A and B are shown apart, each in its own frame.
Chain A
Amino acid sequence: MKPLRLAFAVATLVLPGPGSGAERTYTPGEPVRGTFDGFIQPFLDQHCLECHDDSVAKAGLNLLDLGPVDETNAAVWKSVWAQVSLREMPPGKRPRPEVIDRLQFTDWVVDALQEAMKDKGGFQAHLDPKKANFLEHDLLFRDPPAGIHLKPTSSPARLWRVTPQEHITRLNELINVEPPYNPAKPGLRTHGDAVPTNHGGELKLYFGTDNILRWEGGTVAYATAVKSVPAVLSLARKHGLKNYPGFYSVNSAEATQILGKAEDILQYMASGPLSLVGMPEQITDDPRTYDKVKPPGDLRGLPTAIVYSTKFLRPATPLLNLMKDDALPSDEALRATVDHLFEALAFRPPSTEEADEYIQLVRESIAKIGKTEGVFLGLSAIFLDRDALFRPELAETGEPDAHGRVMLRDWELGLAVNHALRYLKPDPALRAAIVGGKMRTREDVEREVTRMLRDDTIRKPRILQFFRDYFDHDLAGTICKDNRALAATGITARGDDHYLAMFDAAASTDRLIEIILKNDREVLKELLTTRQVVATETDRIYFGRKRTAQETKVAAAEHAKAEAATTAEEEAALSKIRAEIASIQIRSQETPGEPATAKSLDRRAKALDAEMKRILQQRKRRQQNAALEVAPASLSGPPTEARVSRPSFGSGSMKPERILATVPEGERLGILTHPSWLVSHSDAMDNHAIRRGIWIRERLLGGGIPDVPITVDAKLPDEPHNTLRERMRVTRENYCWSCHEKMDPLGLPFEIYNHAGLYRTTELDKPVDGRGEIKDSGDPALDGPVANAIEMIQKLAASERVEQVFVRHAFRFWMGRNETLNDAPVLQAAHRAYRDNGGSLNALITSLLTSDAFLYRVVDRKGSTDLTALRFPECADP
């Protein structure tokens, strides 16, 4: 964090005026020493007022009397900051400010906004990942202009709150045993992988499903009867990077919910399925024994509908020993339990003082409410320990170097490395390195990172999370579709089929990413241009092509013909079955009193009846699934798997089976043409060309887009007979176009797909228009018109700039902050490592994790207060 300076109020050193020709220097992160009158006003005079004074006031903006930053004009200043940072202003033909002038001007504005808004909610826009591209790309990847002096980089000391995913994974470890990594089926979810969202897209913790032998009722009955709890920590961000350290805290609602659920978890750890059932007889290896005593009536949806096996399938923990009888726990047993639980939740052993504190808490609880409840209540406090919910990077023990930076060490460094790749606690080798004093140097980090990256049995779900944050391909199932609009795309809009297909699609795309990462060659290029897909059977439709009206007519005729033939065959078979059933009925009547014959006939009649139902069901399904408007993709290839959730919906749960197939040439190219990505960037009714364009601009080109002005009524006309491109004419109006030209021409090439992600050659019965343009990319070789998304992706995938922008995003994900100019050497080294190793993500990650930005912290405790003496002034005592 930069020290704040009241630069607009008092100056200790007045800068030469902008562009004055005097020798100028600039060190990023150093306070800007200049007054409003001496530096800022002259900058405005020179670069802004010609168009934005009271006589011209272009776009209705008059900066003549703007004055120093204050609470009332902060919104205007924020806009000025954005426009100048993005080099939108002064506009193209006007003389541009010198780089140093521009950087000092924008730094000054940020400092002043922080100071002016510190009691009004603060100013953090410059720290938001959406604004990270406001820093000019070329300054990061080229030699800095004369006068810019970089200083050794570091990150601020900080606390990271765990994400819902991390939290659920820790809790899951306490109650479920996940299967070990299976090299023969590397795509199956295994120990150490993320806990996937369920059939409905919800992140939940499931109790005891591995023990379930039988349940009554269908999918919904199963989901209702099984005990599960949702994640309670918040994650408000939907798009882009979600886990900067400063995004979240833990509020009181979350704390109380965590406490309540902790008791459920502890009970399950101690008693297993016995804590889930209505009757102890439900726990048996022979469900028939339960049938003798189970409650009468319809049990569907009730806990009593489930039979659990007696197998011990949960993790064995010291809590079992503690709760094995009614005796008061010994100090030894209690300490073992506290130590185990603390390390399981905080990923490090407790200090003696911490353990003593929790032991005392448990003892006090036992004294008040007895052993069983007291143990559970007392231990549940550990779930709320600071280090169970936050991961500290405070660098409290090291010595500052010459630049005031302190290197992380021991547990903090070990957990930082662990967190970069994993959701589980450190594996034994990393733990041994931490405990043995071998996590203190850059070389230590390189050794551990290299080891972990090489070992497939050590799962690294954080890497996949980076790609989810980067591509945003996992949002498709959450895009609520209008049923009629969905049906018009050619796919089935029946029930939740589409949403289930989209959750499957996200898991499939995840798996494809993993396959590409396994090869670790030209990773970004491969992701953008592969024709391989991981697919389910349903994907034959989603990766298919929407037929033209004429083709649909032909297909319908052919289908009717084929259907007639199939139906005739089925009817013949059905007639035979019916005849045989009738004959059995006659024989039954003719041979009364012969139990063996009657039983045999009854069995045959039942089998025939089942066969008849199967044929009719098959016909119904065939007719329902006849996607006449779609030419299915021909997908075939070797089997693979996708990581799907624990059974959450009985037999309707997500299935892992997939194939690795190749999609038709010319129709698809890389992840950006997968339904998972396309639907994630669509809305209820149609494609979302603007969102797609923003994605390309920000994530591939490294461009920034200012916030939408509040005066904009961003609404496209509702014209069902016009294409999206035609309806987007409103964005081409002057006022809108200065921003929209950065996104629309990059999003419209994806119009060759409809909003369910199907490829199409026509739209509203006219040839589809996929034209677009790459403009002002920063790389003249990239700029120019494109015929469609495929051509655009091919150009982008070959660009070095795009690769560098990818590196910038990786930096943000693994450092948990936006890059600054001081990070330029880190970014360049990371890109070099990626490039020198043939596009290796592992090399890129290793470079980042051994960089100064990752290893060093700067601690600013100025203004730090004693929280134990904290008074909440607004909470006056009653």
Chain B
Amino acid sequence: MKNPLDRRSAIRCLAAGAGAVFGAATESAIPAPGSTSGGPRRIIFFLQNQGFDPATCVPAEMTGSGSLAGVKLPEPIQPLEAYKERLHIITGLHGLHTSPSHSAFFGALGGYRGGDGVPPSASTIDYELSKVLPETLLPHLCIGMDSMENMTAKPTIANLSASGAGQPIFMHSNPNHLYQMLYGGISEGEIRKQHEARTGLFERMEKLAAAKGNGLPAAEQPRYRGYVGGFHEINDLRGRLGGVSETLRKFAPAVDQRYTAPKFETDWHDVLLDLGLSALKSGLTSVLTIGSGRGEIFGSWKGLGIDQQGHNLGHMPQPDNPIWIKIRQYNSRMLVRLMEGLESVPEGNGTMMDHTLIVYTSNNADAQHTSGANWPVMLLGHCGGVFKSGRLTRLDGKRPINALYTTLLRSAGVRLDHFNLSAPMAAKFDSASGPLKEVLA
């Protein structure tokens, strides 16, 4: 039988699924400057739950599409004012087919019907991109931000990303665990011990699995090799991370009190972002998915002085709401941190940010209770002019979020007309075919 797991897909699967560190490769794990040209080399998805009301991102004076030059960004996204030449605000995509009320869950990044307890019906865009962007050690990393209780009790959860039908990808929410996974090999103390214990276990498991495969019928061996190879890949990555430890050391964030004794959940949110950013900067990953609220309808931001808890936040109108201004500004500051962090790393003739696209949106379209008729998105970055930027685009509500995902895949060199839309669904829910011409330059 065919070995169902070739090496590259194994790497993708492992890294995407568990985030367990693992190694494809080579020196290219830390991307060589200028090794590719055109299109993004990395993409970040940032999904805030409870909806993204367009009135909180569209400048009040703009009644149609146009340049953002000369207009002031609304207060909730005001931290992006200095970066608006690379900002593209898009309204008028739709997600009517995703059932986004309360959250489309996997459907938000998959462009298909989602819901609480509904398994993914196909892979999501972040996973698909991780397969085609320049190869990194850890192609896909997902982090999720939530209340302290939830992040502690359920440090991994899968609501937003998937590698296929019924194949959820877990988000990491405990920064201590994530640090150990990414930087265990260069860490000290307890983290180091944990890392070594796991390394020892996986090495032993590989040997055990291999020993039990000896003498298998020849026809069974290729498939069984996928199982043994899984352990091998895990161990291999641990070794490879050791091989690039100097680079990792350069980018690994310092562990401080916020990891071990957080005062608020936002301490963990902040260090999770640090870890995600460091994974991008060190070349460990090419796709980072951030779920603020972890794709559900709760979430907590007590560290911002917000006492109300998740669900009630969703019932509040967002425009001119001081609570939502705080949350959106917090998001915006995180976006700025991502941009500044990536700008600090040279790449080719510019910086990492020159080859990065950030997609900011919500897993709930425009509101907690919504039909998904309007699904606002902000793109940050132009990737050397591949994407239009510095503007507001109002679409007519006839193209689905799938069209945006088609556009992203096109920018990464994949030829397709519709992402996760069958012909009958496309006929019903998409007024056109192929990428959004309003997005690609």
- List the B side residues contacting A480 at CB < 8 Å: 97, 112-113, 121, 425
**A21 CB-CB contact with B under 8 Å:** no
Contact B194 A867 (CB under 8 A): no
Does B193 interact with chain A (Cβ within 8 Å)?
yes
B-facing residues in A784-815 (Cβ within 8 Å): none
When A231-B166, A302-B147 are in contact, do A122 and B18 touch as well, CB less than 8 Å?
Answer: no
Tell yes or no: B163 within 8 A of A by CB.
yes
Report the count of interface residues on A (CB-CB < 8 A): 105
Q: Are A297 and B117 interface neighbours, CB within 8 A?
A: no
- What residues of chain B lie closer than 8 Å to A496, measured between beta carbons? 99, 115
Would you call B18 and A236 a contact (CB within 8 A)?
Answer: no
A374-B197 contact, Cβ under 8 Å, with A223-B117, A278-B149, A301-B310:
yes
- Report if A357 contacts B (CB, 8 A): yes
- The answer on a CB contact under 8 Å between A297 and B307 is yes
Interface of B, helix, strand, loop or mixed by DSSP: helix
Chain A: which residue is nearest B12 at the CB level?
A253
Report if B396 contacts A (CB, 8 A).
Answer: no
B424 is contacted by which of A121, A231, A684 (Cβ under 8 Å)?
A684
Q: A303-B149, A386-B209 are in contact. Are A252 and B214 (CB under 8 A)?
A: no
Complex: chain B residue closest to A481, CB-CB: B113
CB-contact partner of A252 in B112, B229, B296, B309, under 8 A: B229
Whether B226 lies near A201 (C-beta < 8 A) is: no
Task: Decide: B298 and A249 in contact? CB cutoff 8 A.
Answer: no
Q: A54 an interface residue at 8 Å Cβ cutoff?
A: no
Q: Are A389 and B227 in contact (CB under 8 A)?
A: yes
Query: Are A369 and B194 in contact, with the CB atoms below 8 A?
Result: yes
Tell me if A204 counts as interface (CB < 8 A to partner B): yes
- Quick check: A256 and B1 within 8 Å, CB to CB? no
| Docked pose: A390 CA to B228 CA in angstroms | 12
List of A residues within 8 angstroms of B112 by Cβ: 480
Least CB distance from B34 to A in Å reads 22
**What mask results when residues 671 to 713 of chain A are scored 1 for a CB within 8 Å of chain B, else 0?**
0000000000001110000000000000000000000000000
Quick check: is A624 within 8 A (CB to CB) of the other chain? no
Contact B113 A249 (CB under 8 A): no
In the complex, which of the residues B99, B152, B221 contacts A278, with contact meaning CB atoms closer than 8 Å?
A: B152
Which bucket holds chain B's interface residue count? 35 or more
Do residues A860 and B217 form an inter-chain contact, with CB atoms below 8 A? yes
> How far does the alpha carbon of A122 sit from the alpha carbon of B223 in the complex, in Å?
12
Closest 10 CB pairs of A and B: A253-B17, A200-B117, A252-B230, A256-B18, A301-B298, A252-B14, A249-B226, A863-B218, A253-B13, A878-B243
In the complex, whether A220 has a CB less than 8 A from a CB of chain B is yes
Contacts of A223 in B (CB 8 A): 116-117
Interface residues of chain B, those whose CB is within 8 Å of chain A, are 1-5, 7, 10, 13-20, 22-23, 26, 96-97, 99, 101-102, 112-113, 115-119, 121, 147, 149-150, 152-154, 156, 158, 163-168, 170, 190, 193-194, 196-198, 200-201, 204-205, 207-221, 223-234, 236, 239-240, 243-244, 296-298, 307-312, 422-425, 427-428
Interface of A (DSSP majority class): loop
In whole angstroms, what is the CA distance A254 to B205 when docked?
14
- Cα of A357 to Cα of B204 in the assembled complex, Å: 9
CB contact between B116 and one of A1, A230, A649, A865 (< 8 Å): that residue: A649
- A368 lies within 8 A of B219 (CB): no
Identify which of B23, B210, B218, B297 contacts A868 (C-beta below 8 A): B210
Q: Which residues of B contact A298 (CB under 8 A)?
A: 308-312
- Residue among B14, B147, B149, B226 with max Cβ neighbours from chain A (10 Å): B149
Q: A201-B118, A227-B154, A253-B17 are in contact. Are A300 and B298 (CB under 8 A)?
A: yes
B119 touches A203 (CB 8 A): yes
The residue in chain B whose Cβ has the minimal distance to the Cβ of A688 is B424
Not counting A1-B218, A201-B117, A860-B217, a sample of 9 additional A-B residue pairs whose C-beta atoms are within 8 angstroms of each other reads A159-B223, A203-B119, A251-B10, A252-B231, A298-B309, A303-B154, A649-B117, A860-B218, A867-B221
What is the CA–CA distance of A120 and B113 in the complex, to the nearest angstrom? 36
Q: Inside 8 A of A255's CB, which chain B residues have their CB?
A: 14, 227, 230-231, 234
Do A300 and B14 have beta carbons less than 8 Å apart?
Answer: no
Q: Which of A156, A248, A299, A373 contacts B309 (CB 8 A)?
A: A299
